[in-house]
Amino acid sequence: MYKVTIAIPVYNTQEYIEDSFLSALNQTFDNIEFLIIDDRGNDDSMSIVHELMNSHERGKDVRIITHNKNMGLANVRNTALIEATGDYLFFLDSDDTISETCIEFLYDKITKHPVDFIAASFQVMNVEEQFLRKCVYPDLIIEGENKIAEYQYKNLKKESIDNFSWNKLYNLSFLKDNNINYIPGSLYEDSYFSFNLILKAKSCILTSKIFYNYKIRPYSIMQNNDRKSIPVKEIEGHLLYLDYYKKESFKYKPYPFYEDMITQIMVNCFDKISVLIDKRKVISENVSKKRINEILTYPIYFKEIYKFKHQKKINILLFTFSKLPFSIKVIFLKLYFKLLRFYRKIR
């Protein structure tokens, strides 16, 4: 039995897989299962994995699961949830790296003060390994029913817990007991997983320590700012998880964090559509006006918003705007987007 499983999905990352895999193999923590999930790419990534596995002293701790066909990252992560044998699970994407004390530090923290998961800070780099930015959490322990959700949604915190699956050490029993997994075939799979993680976890640790180097590739779906257009599949991927958030939010109406929750969900909806329209990427015959309007429509009635004890003004503003004709939305959405940003800064 292993104490920790590091799960690494592999699909067409031959330029990065050696550095990524070595950063896992060279961990100072000595009780790790290295779970490689081969999602059937068409480059030499797996050849590099086998070479390292055969030459490294920890090769005996490497286990490879091979999919019958390419199934996508959501399915890969689900495979990791099923196959992992460690008490704790850590996701490392095969184009990223971790510092050598990452697992030792996180394991020490989560065993001394048991929680459902621990999230570490991280830095963002480009493929030339130039520093771009960082996400640094406060050093904090959050415990109690709904306390993580309250922290996440309260006042749209800048230091809210990120939506990425990686750089967190999870209690695997907690994930399985609460059926927290990935929606097969989903494009932005982490968005669904993290949404349910925040709502179901009862304890977590945040640390300001930076261990993870998140590498943004220029052709990645996460790096689309420079493209003149976004494929319809990617646009729909955004709309699907936003729609999921809205529908799932109904379950939490009785909870004290609901007003903050629905505010953040709708702000995310308007933000995403605003950015896409601002860059003229969403106006397409292939993405219907009806579909955009569905995302911008509030899942609750105005009379419910009017009873909000806080976050009332911003919700009334966005609710009113959501009722405008689509053509007017397109004209004024940039303005509303700027007003929204301004409101969030002065609040």
Residue 284 has pLDDT above 60, yes or no: no
Per-residue model confidence (pLDDT) at position 272:
82
Gyration radius of the chain over CA positions: 21
Q: Which of 10, 23, 18, 8 is nearest to 211 (CA)?
A: 23
DSSP annotation string for 118-182: EEEEEEEEETT--EEEEE---SEEEESTTHHHHHHHGGG-TTPPPS-STTEEEEHHHHHHTT---
Residue 197 has pLDDT above 50, yes or no: yes
Q: What is the mean pLDDT of residues 175-193?
A: 94
Per-residue model confidence (pLDDT) at position 198:
97
Q: What is the mean pLDDT of residues 80-106?
A: 97
Q: What pLDDT band is residue 341 in, cutting at 50, 70 and 90?
A: low
Neighbours of 158 (CB within 10 A): 7
DSSP helix/strand/coil, 197: helix
Instruction: Give start and end residues of each alpha helix (H) in the chain.
Output: 17-25, 45-55, 73-83, 102-112, 147-153, 172-177, 189-200, 232-249, 258-278, 289-296, 302-306, 312-322, 326-346
Residue type, 229: S
Give the HSE-up count for residue 86: Cα atoms under 13 Å, Cβ half-sphere. Answer: 25
pLDDT per residue as tens digits for the range 129-142? 788 899 999 999 99
Select, from the ranges 91-100, 305-314, 338-347, the one with the highest average predicted confidence (pLDDT): 91-100
Residue 20 has pLDDT above 60, yes or no: yes
Per-residue model confidence (pLDDT) at position 227:
54
pLDDT per residue as tens digits for the range 232-277? 777 788 889 999 999 999 999 999 999 999 999 998 888 888 777 6
Rounded Cα distance between 280 and 229, Å, is: 8
The residues pairing with 205 across neighbouring beta strands, listed in sequence order, are 118, 141
pTM over 0.85: yes
The chain-wide mean pLDDT, for the chain, equals: 88
What distance, in Å, lies between the first and last C-alpha atoms of the chain? 50
Residue 219 has pLDDT above 70, yes or no: no
Angstrom distances, CA of residue 237 to CA of 72, 156, 192, 240, 282: 13, 23, 11, 5, 12
Per-residue model confidence (pLDDT) at position 1:
85
Judge whether 137 and 56 are in contact, CB under 8 Å: no
Per-residue model confidence (pLDDT) at position 346:
54
Rounded Cα distance between 282 and 273, Å, is: 8
Domain spans, the chain: 4-216, 232-346
pLDDT per residue as tens digits for the range 33-52? 999 999 999 999 999 999 99
Q: Which of 209, 202, 138, 200 is nearest to 167 (CA)?
A: 209
Superfamily of segment(s) 4-216: Spore Coat Polysaccharide Biosynthesis Protein SpsA; Chain A (3.90.550.10)
Tokens of 13: 């990352």
Per-residue model confidence (pLDDT) at position 102:
98
